Amino acid sequence: MLTEKHIVIIGGDARQLEIIRKLSTLDAKLSLVGFEQLDDGFVGATKEQIANIDFSTVDAIILPVSGTNQQGEVDTVFSNETITITEEQLKATPTHCIVYTGISNTYLDECLHQSKRKLVKLLERDDIAIYNSIPTVEGTVMMAIQHTDITIHGSTVAVLGFGRVGMSVARTFAALGAKVKVGARESEHIARITEMGFTPFDIKDIVHQVSDVDLCINTIPAKIVTANVLATMPTNALIIDLASKPGGTDFRYAEKRGIKALLAPGLPGIVAPKTAGQILANVLAQLLLQD
């Protein structure tokens, strides 16, 4: 149980509601910042303004999956207020306080470095990434159906990257009858792609591999679908970029060529916020109980 643990949950979307429910059942003392428009009542949870939080009593801070922007501002769908995390707030917490976020940036990293507090980036964990690949793939299939006039069955699909998401994407589209080719860098990934029955190619050869695709799905968080790549891609192809912002596609040139390119990070929170929230809640509960 998390009895007597004071946890501050700051901002976020519907996924945070599952986290609140889970931690509430574990008897944590919850302070909710950026939830004044939320009608639900949770046992042991109190809505607060960030200025009223006594950070000297805080054992953990939970930020949204998106973390903060470079000004320290936190997104929230349940408030119209601007909520900012500062280095001074973090320095006021006990030394054992841990900050949990989905992803981080230079602003948040520097705040945690200067305050000497531990930062846990949840989306870098294998368990969360693998669980999240399920709603990510379902959302990708949905987008492919919505934005094309052909069936997935029989289409040619290029998946860029063979990490935790790329593997699930490739397997699902192949199961739906697509001809799937997968681009990767590592030799062991090429071997696994071959073993799983997909057509492998070295990502360096991407220019020659996308000339016949109906759908290109990028999972690599780097500029990989460049103007040179787009120049060889059919104009009726669809690009779904699953990499974190700003994605790995030259969206300006894609628009110039008339290729529809969609940036779709954070699909779990869009297509299945309840499931995505439960994934985060279960892992967070384990981590908080351990700490």
For 169, how many CA atoms within 13 A lie in the half-sphere containing its CB? Answer: 34
Q: Is residue 220 pLDDT above 80, yes or no?
A: yes
pLDDT tens for 254-276 read 999 999 999 998 899 999 999 99
pLDDT tens for 163-197 read 999 999 999 999 999 999 999 999 999 999 999 99
pLDDT tens for 34-76 read 999 988 778 889 999 999 999 999 999 999 999 999 999 999 9
CA gyration radius for the chain?
Answer: 21
Summarize the confidence of residues 197-201 as an average pLDDT.
Answer: 98
| Dihedral over Cα of 281, 287, 290, 291: its sign | negative
Q: At residue 78, what is the residue type?
A: F
Is there a contact between 160 and 248 (Cβ–Cβ < 8 Å)?
Answer: yes
Q: Is residue 105 pLDDT above 80, yes or no?
A: yes
Q: Which residues of 116-130 are buried (b: 16+ CB within 10 A; e: fewer)?
A: ebebbbbbeeeebbe
Please choose, from the candidates 120, 66, 113, the residue with its C-alpha nearest in 3D space to the C-alpha of residue 91: 113
User: 193 vs 59, 163, 166, 198, 285, CA distance in Å?
Assistant: 44, 11, 10, 6, 35
pTM for the full predicted model: 0.87
Q: What percent of the chain has pLDDT over 70?
A: 100
CA distance linking residue 51 with residue 60, whole number of Å = 17
Q: Which residue has the tokens 């531990």?
A: 118
The token pair at 66 is 């998106």
Task: Tell me the sheet residues that pair with 30.
Answer: 7, 45
pLDDT of residue 265: 87
